Structures are given as structure tokens and as C-alpha cells.
Amino acid sequence: MTASVEGPLPEHWRRAWEQFLCVVLPVQCLGCGRWDIVLCPSCAALARSPEPCWQVIDTDEAGPAFGLWALGEYGGPLRRIVVAAKHSSHVEVGSFLAEAGHTLGVCLGNSGLVPDRRETWVVPAPSRWRRRFRGQMIVPVLAEGVAHGLWRSTGTTVRVVDCVRLRPGVRSQAGRSGGQRRSGREGAMRARVVPPRDVGIVLVDDVVATGSTLRELARVCGSGVVAATALCHSGRQGRIV
């Protein structure tokens, strides 16, 4: 079984949707604020970043360090697109997320750092129940794009496996300090399915600040973790410790 992903909307459907929004609502670009367009060409092109950033996530005692690929820093138009996707139920950025994931998957596959395994699992970071209930799911769409890009660049079997859940009562990380983020994610996740030993695992998240979510996700997924991807990160290139 190979990865599958619903690609970006056909151009004529995208234009029809944008024209409809312009008629019924005052529309601004989610990234830069330009009027009469949902995503301007410049902001939409962020999903096709030719040089995604690369960092290292140190996992301390949880396991070996692994690489993180992200489109860029959490700021400017990219930050505004992410915030709109997470908090505005009426915006549609699915095609942007799918294309961004595809870019990251291709970059990761071309890096040669994903070992040749029987198959690769792309595991999205779990969302809180409120986001699942509202249907504001960013990471699963991004993960589908990553899987498709990884499959296209390596030709190996790739699957998106939603196998991790947050434990009941886990709070949101928004507005918390670095120390609070780290302690708030320790022991916060549980695995619904234990990955086989011969499967490589790629983690996916939307925004990486301290790396605490990815560390906990790596702890739960085990020694098969080989890399991680995200839309953006909040620090400069280097190590996230």
C-alpha cells in the first residue's frame, strides 16, 4: 500500500471559490492582508519553499537526536496563515497544507536520511478533542502531504498512521513558557498502536517551539523515529534542546 493524498484544488475551482468569497465577504489574503484574494501568489508560494530549514531535536534520555525539516520560522505571512488555519473555522487552507507537506516530504526523501525500511509511517502529532470536534485539523492534512511527497521521492511504501492520542485533561500549550511546555508534555501522550520494529517513523507537527511535543511523540513511538517535519519553527537553525 502506498501513500495517497488529495492534491491541491484544480485551478478553475480555486478561482471560482475565491470569486465567490469576494462577492459575499470582504476577503483578504491570509498571509499578507491583500484584498480580494484568499491567498495571494506570493503567500501561496510559501508552500513550495525550495530550501526548508533543517534543525536537530535532542531527545535527552528518550532516545537519539533526529532531524527536523520546516518551511521557515514562525513569523510573518507563514505565521498568519497558520493562525488562521487553527482558529478560523471559515477559512480553507487544505490545498496549502497539502502542498506544504508534499514539499517537506520530497525534501526529506531526497536528503537520503530516511533509512530503507519495510515501510515508513508518517505519524501526526495528536490534536485536542475540541479541535477534532470542530474539524479544525491541520496536522493530519499536513501529514498526508508529507507521506505523498516522501513516497514520490523514495518510491517506498508510506502510510499515514494516526496512532497517538493525548491523555485526558492535557492542557493546550498556547501562551505557556518554555519550561511549562516541556513539563506539560511529559507523559501527556499514549500510543493506540505500537509500531513494528522494522518500520521507520516520521513525525509531523504544525509549529515547533521548544520541541517538547515532538520529544513526547518520539518517546511514545519508540526507537523507529528517523525524522520530523513541521510547517514552521520558532527559532533559528541549530539545535532544539
CB 100 within 8 A of CB 46: yes
pLDDT of residue 57: 85
**Edge to edge, what strands does the sheet with 225-233 contain?**
158-160, 119-124, 199-208, 225-233, 66-73, 53-57, 239-240
Q: pLDDT tens digits, residue range 57-113?
A: 887 655 678 999 999 999 999 999 999 888 876 678 999 999 999 999 999 999 887
- Nearest-angstrom CA–CA distance, 58 and 60: 6
The pTM for the full model equals 0.82
DSSP state of 38: S
- Nearest-angstrom CA–CA distance, 123 and 74: 22
Q: pLDDT tens digits, residue range 185-194?
A: 778 899 999 8
CB 47 within 8 A of CB 96: yes
CB 146 within 8 A of CB 101: yes
Query: What share of the chain in percent tops pLDDT 90?
Result: 47
Which sign, positive or negative, has the C-alpha torsion 95, 193, 172, 215? negative
Q: pLDDT tens digits, residue range 105-156?
A: 999 999 887 878 889 999 999 987 665 555 567 899 999 999 999 999 999 9
pLDDT of residue 5: 42
Class level of CATH domain 11-240: alpha beta
pLDDT of residue 3: 45
pLDDT of residue 60: 64
pLDDT of residue 35: 87
